[in-house]
Amino acid sequence: MADPTGEPPKAKPRKKAPAKKKRKGKKRTVTEADLIEFLLSTDLLSDLPEPTLVDLASKVKFHELDSEEELAVLGAPRPDPGPMYVVLKGELKIQAKAGAEWRMQNLTPRGEFFFDRAVDPAGDQEIRLSAMQPTELLEVPYSEANAILNVDP
């Protein structure tokens, strides 16, 4: 119907989509069987014998991060190497402190792994690890990761 004033009809305002709810506080519970399944899903660890997988599952930690959530800041100096992180889903952002600024060093995508010494061999830089998007990863203690890599590089 035409407006009696001769003006064109106004468009109806669009409805805003409801805001997505954050998952914070609703992290899932992970069983040892889940951890073994996660280990088997990675190229790096899928060929390990069953007893090794069961033992490793008792030593790894599962992390579930929201987008931009910080996993850790590895201080400097670090005399001992940090753990190995295996990305199951999402992407891990690695930044190193240069003066007062954080600078991007690397992105670790799904299926890849990260050691702090790959970015900072001497262990004398501060390194920050955070998720680029919702991310799931495993934290493998250095001694375990090193033993695995020495047996099957």
What residue ranges in 61-142 does DSSP mark as E strands? 61-65, 70-74, 84-89, 91-98, 101-109, 113-115, 127-131, 135-140
Q: Which residue has the tokens 């003066």?
A: 99
Question: Each residue's pLDDT tens digit in the chain (153 positions)?
Answer: 555 666 666 655 555 545 444 455 556 788 888 998 998 888 888 888 889 889 999 999 999 999 999 999 888 777 788 889 999 999 999 999 888 899 999 999 998 988 887 777 777 888 899 999 999 999 999 889 888 877 655
- Amino acid identity of residue 56, one-letter, is L
Q: Within 13 Å of residue 140, how many CA atoms lie on the same side as its CB?
A: 26
Tell me if the pTM is above 0.75.
no
Backbone angles phi, psi at 34, to 5 degrees: -60, -45
